[in-house]
Every structure is written in C-alpha cells, then in structure tokens.
C-alpha cells in the first residue's frame, strides 16, 4: 500500500533544503535541487514524502525539516497490514456447539459475531459457544475481523449439531450410575439374606417334622410292647385251678356215713 505524508510547503518547488527522517534515520535529504539521500521521486513538488509498498517495518515517527519559515514538522505513522479473510469452523459437543473464528494474524485485530445476520452484542472473543437447547435449525453464524485500515467477513455456517434426548453433565451421570449400582447391591444383599432365612426356616421345619414323626412312632410302639405281658398276667389271674374243688355237698355226704 502507498501512503503520502502531509506536504511541507504551500507552494511547489525544489529550491529549498528538505530532510525527512524515519525513527531518527534519514530517508530523504535534498540541498536546493540536489538530492543527497533517497530519490527525487520519493518527494512531491510540495515536499510530501511518498511511501510506496509500505510494510509493517515502515511504522514509526517521521520528521520533516526545512530551511523555510515552516521549520520542522513531525508525523507519527502507524502501519497496519490488511486483515485476511477469517475461517469459521465449529465443533459439536453433548450440550453445546463451539464456533471458532481463525485469522492469519491476530495482532491488533478485533472480532465481532453475527447470528442470522444480526450482531451478537458483547461477543468479541475468538470462540463462540451456543447451547444446543438454544440452537434452532437453519441458524446461521458468521464472524468479522477488522483493524483501523481494513475489515473482512468469514463465510456463513449453519451448524447441524443434534441435541441429545437427555442432556446431563458427566458428574450427574456418574452420580446416577453410582446410586443405581448401590441400589442393585443392596437388593442383592437383601435377597441373599431372605434366602438364607427361608432356607433356615425350612431346615427347622423339617427337623421339627422329623421329631414329631419319631415321637409319634414311639407312642405307637409302647402299647404294642406292653400288650402280651398284660394278657399273660391277666390269663394267669383269671385261669381256674387245675384241681377241682369238691362241692360242699359232696363233702357233707362223705362225712355223714362215718358219723352215723
């Protein structure tokens, strides 16, 4: 880019002495019509300094000195490169979309954002984050980078991030999973304890049934074991004597003849 610094004289001519310095270094010097430093084409007929193909190294303080009543003039020149067109990209995450505005050289650059061709206030950072719950279909975004001398706008993007059915933070998911695991473990322990109690109850019932069966069988055996002895004793007590006793009448009859 070419830049012309302000003129030194109001009237054209080259009959006066003129010197231009850049950061205290002489870049052009002329005594009357004789050029000592630089080229005659670097100065206009009014004494203005012509800077051609200006680069960042050309920034600094320029001073013009003459032998005219105008004396010395000082100019501060700030050199900035034109900004390049930024590149816009985005990344989808579980709960938000992150857009990034990349420029070739970020020094002394400002950034602005637009959503659906409307400026987003207070957004001047290189990245822009939008919640998926707020992101609508066909929503477009673009970014602009600019400095004091130029401005460029990026291409327009329409993020296609899909919002999940359930959006939870990782900490919430971990807490829920831990709670579910604890509940499952508690249920497992409860089931094991109940099974142990049930098995123990069944064992006790079986043992009780066996004891009752054994006692019942013993009670049934006792009458059977005592019955033969009881019958033998009863038969001995109730059986008649083997020797028949004489009737009283027979005795009386046998005694009576002798007494007679």
Residue pLDDT, tens place only, 196-228: 888 888 787 777 777 777 777 777 766 655 555
User: Residue 75: pLDDT above 50?
Assistant: yes
Which CATH fold topology does 87-153 show? Immunoglobulin-like (2.60.40)
174-195 per-position pLDDT tens digit: 888 888 988 898 888 998 888 8
Looking at residue 128, what is its pLDDT?
94
Task: Quote the strand ranges of 156-255, DSSP E.
Answer: none
Q: How far is CA 3 from CA 46, 105, 117, 222, in A?
A: 15, 22, 34, 135
> If you average pLDDT over every residue of the chain, what do you get?
77
Q: Domain residue spans in the chain?
A: 3-77, 87-153
Range 160-185 average pLDDT: 77
The per-residue pLDDT for range 126-139, each reduced to its tens digit, is 999 999 888 888 89
Intrachain domains 3-77 and 87-153 with the same fold: yes
Can you name the CATH fold of 3-77?
Answer: Immunoglobulin-like (2.60.40)
User: 227: which 2 tokens?
Assistant: 């019955």
Average pLDDT in the 11-37 region? 81
5 touches 75 (CB < 8 A) = yes
Asked whether the beta carbons of 143 and 112 are under 8 A apart, the reply is yes
């Amino acid at each position: 880019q070419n830049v012309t610094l302000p003129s030194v004289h109001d009237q054209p001519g080259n009959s006066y002495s003129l010197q231009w310095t850049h950061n205290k270094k002489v870049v052009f010097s002329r005594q009357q019509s004789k050029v000592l430093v630089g080229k005659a084409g670097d100065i206009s007929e009014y004494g203005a300094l012509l800077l051609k193909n200006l680069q960042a190294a050309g920034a600094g303080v320029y001073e013009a000195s003459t032998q005219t009543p105008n004396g010395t003039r000082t100019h501060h020149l700030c050199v900035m490169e034109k900004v390049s067109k930024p590149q816009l990209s985005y990344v989808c995450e579980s709960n938000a979309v992150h857009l990034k505005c990349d420029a070739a050289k970020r020094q002394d650059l400002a950034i602005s954002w637009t959503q659906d061709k409307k400026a987003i206030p207070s957004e001047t950072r290189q990245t822009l984050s939008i919640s998926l719950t707020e992101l609508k279909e066909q929503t477009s975004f673009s970014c602009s980078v600019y400095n004091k001398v130029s401005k460029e706008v990026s291409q327009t993007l329409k993020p296609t991030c899909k919002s999940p059915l359930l959006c939870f933070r990782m900490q919430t998911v971990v807490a829920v999973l831990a709670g579910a695991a604890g509940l499952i473990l508690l249920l497992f322990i409860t089931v094991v304890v109940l099974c142990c109690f049930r098995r123990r109850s069944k064992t006790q019932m079986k043992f009780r049934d066996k004891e009752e069966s054994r006692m019942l069988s013993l009670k049934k055996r006792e009458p059977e074991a005592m019955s033969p002895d009881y019958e033998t004793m009863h038969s001995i007590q109730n059986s008649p004597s083997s020797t028949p006793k004489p009737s009283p009448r027979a005795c009386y009859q046998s005694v009576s003849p002798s007494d007679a």
